[in-house]
A and B are shown apart, each in its own frame.
Chain A
């Protein structure tokens, strides 16, 4: 049977969201959640994989509640998780500006921004919790930007008409993560969190149908071991690095979620990828990653290309009336602040018309001349100084003098492990939080909402729902590392790494990563077609076969070996890529970041097909190389009626 002949399994009838008025659901859930007696909590161990915003906040909070936490990250320090790189800001419905914001408006904006492919109950909860996040972070000493009166400053992000984004210059993720890292550090010092840096999860241990531990490799000694617990939380981030070039950190990877998927956790909407419109264009084949220029720049920068295709003149020599400020022209009410998917496609369109700028015509201008004239250079520097510096360092061009050149790049994955309202996956006792899950952003994430979601999950949602699970979980201590399921997972992992080392072929792990990445960008990137996706689905198994014939990993498994780490991650990309393409092929509508050329409005915008596709696609793993099984979770919209998303 071919991989494309996937079967359809039972519908997911119950996402466990409580009934009743949406604004009361989270309260209700918290009230009905069972509690674990504080004295008993220290008898429970929870594994948290990841120390980004989601993982660090969850680990710290669970430890504060009295649980014993085993925490893992692959970096040398928990403070270096990829969340550190987030630039622009974090949303919260504080309405400190009195500009008409509210929990309901944030909820509405997020459901609409996600093109009606997210679960209403979850999104509403996210909007409710957003206000507490800001309070929590300020209490930790996070130095958000402030006005002269000493109160917090905010700015605007794409897809909204209020100013609700809190920020710390261009380093919001860094400051929020350091807050969570410091809270985690306090627990490490207190002995409630046992931190395992430079330790990578390579498999999930499932005992009697429940997640009971992980297999992980000490990246320094190479030793592979089993860690057991009463529940496992994956906060391992997104999988954008399937595309090789992305704005993600170099070592961000899909292994934790993919291995969990292979052990029974459904993978939802894998094809929902966010392509961010404002990244620095690539310069050559040596390129190892792409650098984001924060969306906040669209507050003051104006995007344009020459009106004439192939215009050879420098930007400054092109007079005002020969410039096309195409976002302002096509979307007058949102202008440069349209959502990301729309801005990215518009950039692609003008470049496809031959109006792109810079090398290869793969770029558009983001121009600050007006802002500098209006606000002065100092004010602009205060707001965006570090981004301008970064841009200049990479391109050797000064954006105070000449417009930036930007182009879309892979940035974020809305898809991820399917979770219910409690953030629990389909494997009991396995939870997924932050970018690792699929829950809140539908088919397109609004800017400054990932930080909000990661912290909402980690500080507030998971600690409440894990309680409920642990209160009803089987007795502690009935599964230790000698359990046959744990031994089997350990053996399989050892075998996989041994196989990688044994091939001794002639191609590097990076060369395969690059190959699969280019294929995905071409066929499963900004625009997707049935023909292209079928081509990719044919090609991926071939690349996989070649990988196992020709991969070369020097050294041994019993030492610090970065080539081995990389090769093992590529193994999982080569499988996940296939599922992403299948998901993209099956969803023959366009929605949010998923643009199927075949499904567009006469104006060229994404055309949803609500009759057919108003569901989350949750894929069940069957067997290696075999077609997966599709489970649909129907999406019900009681509060925000799906309409054609309009930003004009």
Chain B
């Protein structure tokens, strides 16, 4: 296949950016989207041009590094990560736009690479169970009902890629935050910090400059792991409950 790519190029956070067009030839349908970008970059390097910078690592859809807006959709047309998107989803002669995540809280580092450390700071504010090493009781000391364990797992699957933020018209990180709140708050191990967790994480999310949630639902549509929109409603309930009863 032969494709035209229009790619966002931006030298660094302070430089202005613009779309640049490239032709890529010899694309096989078995290639992943990132392998297609690899071939473009190989050509650019040999020509002495700067290759297109993009984040990636596992290329298995689990590390959450890859972060491309493809033809206007976070991670592109399929419900998966950009690294697991294959070129068989495109046709010979297509023109494809490739842009970085766009959100106030995700400044561009270079080209398609953005700074997502705001998500780490949300976790740091309360997305954990305080269980210092060595203090744990036997794993079977507390049985966890299977439905609760499954609920926790479904939300723990979040890979922290930030597609939810990129897809949201408000640039909100509610789905990301809600995923962690749902994962930990349903478990007996997470119960003691249930209230402080949701209050602190929501406060941090706001402090980072993420937008407010209007339940537009774009986040859950873009999420490569299928974190349900319902998670946000549950988080909001947890927040109300905590705000009412919190001793703070």
Contacts and interface: CB of A to CB of B under 8 A. Distances in A.
Which interface residue of A78, A171, A186 has the most chain B CB atoms within 10 A? A186
B62 A138 contact: no
Contacts, number: 221
B23 interface: no
Contact of B35 (A75, A251, A287): A287
A182 B127 contact: yes
Nearest to B187: A141
Nearest to A508: B45
Interface in A516-575: 552-555, 559-560, 562-563
A616 B44 CA distance: 45
Contact of A554 (B12, B38, B51, B135): B51
Nearest to B200: A189
A103 to B, nearest CB: 15
Interface string A137-177: 11111011111111110000000000000001101001100
A197 B128 CA distance: 20
Chain B binding surface SS class = loop
Nearest to A509: B45
Nearest to B161: A80
Contact of B136 (A135, A195, A562): A135
Which interface residue of A149, A181, A507, A560 has the most chain B CB atoms within 10 A? A560
Contacts of B130: 186
Contact of B65 (A80, A182, A195, A553): A80
B129 A139 contact: yes
Given A135-B138, A140-B131, A149 B48 contact: no
B215 interface: no
A185 B127 contact: yes
B189 A250 contact: no
A77 interface: yes
B101 to A, nearest CB: 12
B64 A79 contact: yes
Nearest to B87: A286
Interface stretch (A348-356, A389-397, A402-410): A389-397
Interface in B129-179: 129-140, 143-146, 149, 152-153, 156-157, 159-160
B153 A169 contact: yes
Interface in A500-520: 504, 506-511
B133 A459 contact: yes
A390 B80 CA distance: 10
B88 A77 contact: no
B30 interface: yes
A147 B147 CA distance: 10
A101 B179 CA distance: 36
Contacts of A77: 64, 116-117, 119-120, 160
B97 to A, nearest CB: 21
Interface residues of B, number: 77
B98 to A, nearest CB: 16
Interface stretch (A31-39, A56-64, A465-473, A630-638): A56-64
B34 interface: yes
A380 interface: no
Contacts of A249: 57-59, 63
B133 A141 contact: no
Contacts of B145: 150
A298 interface: no
B110 interface: yes
A315 interface: no
B53 A146 contact: no
Interface in A104-150: 132, 134-141, 143-150
A178 interface: yes
B135 A141 contact: no
A80 B64 contact: yes
B12 A552 contact: no
A393 B117 contact: no
A64 B39 CA distance: 46
Which interface residue of B53, B62, B80, B123 has the most chain A CB atoms within 10 A? B62
B189 A141 contact: yes
Contacts of B58: 80, 82, 84-85, 249-250
B34 to A, nearest CB: 7
Interface in B45-60: 45-46, 48-51, 53, 55-60
A617 B59 CA distance: 34
Given A61-B133, A182-B127, A186-B124, A138 B30 contact: no
A19 interface: no
Given A139-B189, A152-B139, A78 B35 contact: no
A138 B189 contact: yes
B136 A138 contact: yes
Nearest to B153: A143
B210 to A, nearest CB: 16
B183 interface: yes
13 contacts: A76-B113, A77-B120, A78-B120, A82-B63, A84-B58, A134-B139, A139-B189, A141-B187, A174-B62, A175-B153, A286-B31, A554-B51, A563-B45
Given A79-B123, A140-B131, A250-B56, 10 more contacts: A76-B55, A77-B120, A135-B137, A145-B149, A146-B144, A182-B127, A186-B130, A288-B38, A393-B61, A508-B42
Across the A-B interface, give the 5 residue pairs with the lowest CB-CB distance, nearest first. A150-B143, A182-B128, A139-B136, A139-B131, A135-B136
